[in-house]
Structure 1
């Protein structure tokens, strides 16, 4: 599956991912200690929703525009993050994860963003100008391991690949296993697209065999029945989520599910521990 950020900016997956990322980082920031935030597959960081690539899919209509039309106050933090890069009531630009993370930085925090694709890396540097982010252009999996353990002690690694390669899930599984050995207490967020439940269950079984204790699985299925061969939603794996985040998760997930449910479908947005 090819999932270049620029074609899917502001879709339902982005709404869920960025809403949860904001709450996760804020939960960690309840402690004063510095955080290192690392985005391994950063993309361009800022996207034109009126541009050719975003318009080709039109997915923002089922994502960020639905979130802006919804009155639930639990989505206020997400809407504020999008509004921060826009002028006017309707979003014309969409902030990728690097921009969202930059908005959350405290003076003591560190942000490291990485993008291997040369064209996207140039756009990333331009978008992050004026922020304290360090920008890299390296292999994401090499960088992931090289920067662990983080210098600040606490941190978050966000892994958000385009799934262009057939071995992407295998590389994530192997790198996560190595990363956990180096940084067992660290927080890792892994984004993934969903197509069919059988394929996804096989990956979950492989991840379960890593024997990582605090492994949260969040799944957002857009359609009530399985629809093999098409994009059916997305989810996040979160390793070592803080208690304050998990305690506040249920109402936020329900608000997101309701806001993003396609016409004629209720949708499903759940959180379960991969390992009891």
Structure 2
């Protein structure tokens, strides 16, 4: 599955991913200690919702625009992050994870971004100008391991690939296993698209066999039944989520489900511990 960010910016998956990412980092920041935030597949950093790519899919209409039309205060932090890169009442630009993470930085925190695609890394450097982010152009999985353990005692690695390669899931599994050996207490967030439940179930079985003790799985299925051959939703694997985050998660997931469910479908967002 090819999932280039520019075609899907601001869709329902982005709303869920970025809402949870904000909540996760804020939960970690309840402690004063510095954080190192690493985004292994950073993309362009900032996206034009009026671009040909975004208009071709029109997915922002069912994602960020629905979140903006919603009034639930639990989505206020997400909406504020999007408003921060826009002037008007409705979003014309959409901040990718790099921009959202940059907004969350405290003076003691560090942000490291990586993007291998030549055109995207050029756009990323331009989008992040004026921030303290360090930008790399390396193989994502090599960088993931090379930067562990992080320079600060605590950190978050965000892994958000386009799933262009057939071995993407295998590389994630192998790298996560190695990363856990180097950095057992670290927080890792892995985003993935959902197309069919059988394929995803097999991958979860492989990840479960890694034996990671605190491995949370959050899944957002858009439709009541799988729609054959199309994007059905997305999820996040979160290794070592902090207690404050998991305690606040249920009402946030309910708010996201209500805001994003397609017409005629109730939608489903679940959170479960892998292996329990």
| TM-score interval for Structure 1 and Structure 2 normalised by the shorter chain | over 0.9
In the superposition, the TM-score normalised over structure 2's length comes to 1.00
Q: Does structure 1 residue 33 correspond to structure 2 residue 46?
A: no
Question: Following TM superposition, by how much is the alpha carbon of 1:228 offset from its aligned partner in structure 2, in angstroms?
Answer: 2.6
Alignment of 1:194-205 (within 5 A): 194-205=194-205
What SS does the aligned partner of 2:61 have? helix
Q: Which residue of 2 aligns with 1:72?
A: 72
What SS does the aligned partner of 1:150 have? coil
Q: Which residue of 2 aligns with 1:261?
A: 261
Question: Following TM superposition, by how much is the alpha carbon of 1:226 offset from its aligned partner in structure 2, in angstroms?
Answer: 1.5
Alignment of 1:178-257 (within 5 A): 178-257=178-257
What SS does the aligned partner of 2:258 have? helix
Q: Which residue of 2 aligns with 1:57?
A: 57
In the alignment, structure 1 segments of 5+ residues that lack a partner are none
Question: Following TM superposition, by how much is the alpha carbon of 1:235 offset from its aligned partner in structure 2, in angstroms?
Answer: 0.3
Q: Does structure 1 residue 155 correspond to structure 2 residue 155?
A: yes
Distance 2:226 2:9 in 1: 24
Distance 1:100 1:77 in 2: 11
What SS does the aligned partner of 2:85 have? coil
Question: Following TM superposition, by how much is the alpha carbon of 1:275 offset from its aligned partner in structure 2, in angstroms?
Answer: 1.8
What is the aligned-residue RMSD (CA, Å)? Answer: 0.4
Q: Which residue of 1 aligns with 2:128?
A: 128
Q: Which residue of 2 aligns with 1:166?
A: 166
Distance 1:250 1:10 in 2: 22
In the alignment, structure 2 segments of 5+ residues that lack a partner are none
Distance 2:154 2:238 in 1: 15
Question: Following TM superposition, by how much is the alpha carbon of 1:227 offset from its aligned partner in structure 2, in angstroms?
Answer: 1.8
Q: Which residue of 1 aligns with 2:44?
A: 44
In the superposition, the TM-score normalised over structure 1's length comes to 1.00
What SS does the aligned partner of 1:7 have? helix
Which runs of structure 1 show a deviation greater than 6 angstroms over 4 or more consecutive aligned residues? Answer: none
What SS does the aligned partner of 1:155 have? strand
Distance 2:226 2:94 in 1: 29
Question: Following TM superposition, by how much is the alpha carbon of 1:153 offset from its aligned partner in structure 2, in angstroms?
Answer: 1.1
Distance 1:124 1:81 in 2: 18
Q: May I ask how many residue pairs the two structures share in their alignment?
A: 276
What SS does the aligned partner of 1:174 have? helix
Q: Which residue of 1 aligns with 2:86?
A: 86
Distance 1:271 1:26 in 2: 19
What SS does the aligned partner of 1:248 have? helix
Distance 2:241 2:25 in 1: 10
Question: Following TM superposition, by how much is the alpha carbon of 1:71 offset from its aligned partner in structure 2, in angstroms?
Answer: 0.5
For residues 24-82 of structure 1, give each alpha carbon's deviation from its aligned partner in whole angstroms, at most 9, with x where no partner exists: 00000000000000000000000000011100100000000000000000000000000
What SS does the aligned partner of 2:172 have? helix
Question: Following TM superposition, by how much is the alpha carbon of 1:217 offset from its aligned partner in structure 2, in angstroms?
Answer: 0.2
